[in-house]
Amino acid sequence: ELDEALLVRFGRSSGGALAPVSSFIGGVAAQEALKAVTGKFTPLRQFLYWDALEALPAPPPAAAECAPRGDRYDGNRAVIGEAALGALRRGRYFVVGAGALGCEWLKCLALLGAATDGGVVHVTDMDQIERSNLNRQFLFRPSDLGAPKSTAAAAKCAQLNPAFRAVAHEAAVGAPGSPFDDAFWGGLDGVISALDNVAARLHVDRMCVLHRKPLLESGTAGTKANTQVVLPGLTASYGASTDPPDDDIPVCTVKAFPYVLEHCVQWARDLFEAQFVQAPRRVNAWAARPDALAAELGQRGA
């Protein structure tokens, strides 16, 4: 027996496109391409089914709300309707962290049309862009090296959508004297957390619960990742469960501002490794093969 309501929702949404869904499909396609090129991992040899019906408005918007209007948001409008699109445009959001996940969230917000009609997206990150960031934090380019991540990410999203309004910060959430006071939290419509340490994630979670703001909690560590939607009063909060202690030290924090004992020790170890292990190893390799040095300098344009 066919579910008529489901077929109607599928028919309407199939005529549109949402940036987060496109990002997921693109990520899966890229993953399968890498599997084929490297031969290191087993590719998918079956059907992959995935849906995000929970992202659709309930009840479904009327057909007139989803009708095209000849602007760049017709693909979004066909899926979520004009009312939800208008709420996104007028919303005030806070993205905490502008690393690999933060770049993805900011890109999706810009392409969805968030903060383009009276709204604003605040983004904060204390780190500066390092060369090692360029392989996964796709908003950044070599010309951005040394720039604050939040500032560069906001500027890149403005290029994706000139109407997108973002305000960049370099302050830590929860730090004394930061601009993120009770009035700031109270004026938000939603929060996205993309942090790399548990303490800061717990603080963001507490503030969202205190001010009853919806939170999309997310994080990555190597090949591991997690997401959690927190709706105060309806779902469990991030702090309701206990994460294992942080075994890994965030590389960005070590390079930009090592402020605890463990970070300082790791910073010293990295510096020793670079100066007394890696550099002599490269010199020895060049001495053994002068042609390798010439090839490397040629690649650098020297």
**Cα–Cα distance for residue pair 12/61, rounded to 1 Å:** 10
How far apart are alpha carbons 151 and 169 in whole angstroms?
Answer: 7
Select which of 103, 108, 157, 252 is catalytic: 252
The alpha carbon of 220 is separated from its chain's Cα centroid by a whole number of angstroms, namely: 10
Contacts 24+ apart (CB under 8 A), 171-176: 171/124, 171/126, 172/124, 172/126, 172/200, 173/96, 173/124, 173/200, 173/203, 173/204, 173/207, 174/200, 174/203
- What is the SS3 assignment for 118-152? CCEEEEECCCECCHHHHHCCCCCCHHHCCCEHHHH
Amino acid at 213: K
Is the Cα dihedral 195, 103, 221, 242 positive or negative?
positive
- Concerning whether 252 is annotated as a catalytic residue, the answer is yes
* Three-state secondary-structure class, residue 261: helix
Distance CA 207, CA 181 (A): 10
**Both structure tokens of 143:** 């010309």
CB atoms under 10 Å from CB of 150, counted, come to 26
Q: Give the residue numbers marked as catalytic.
A: 252
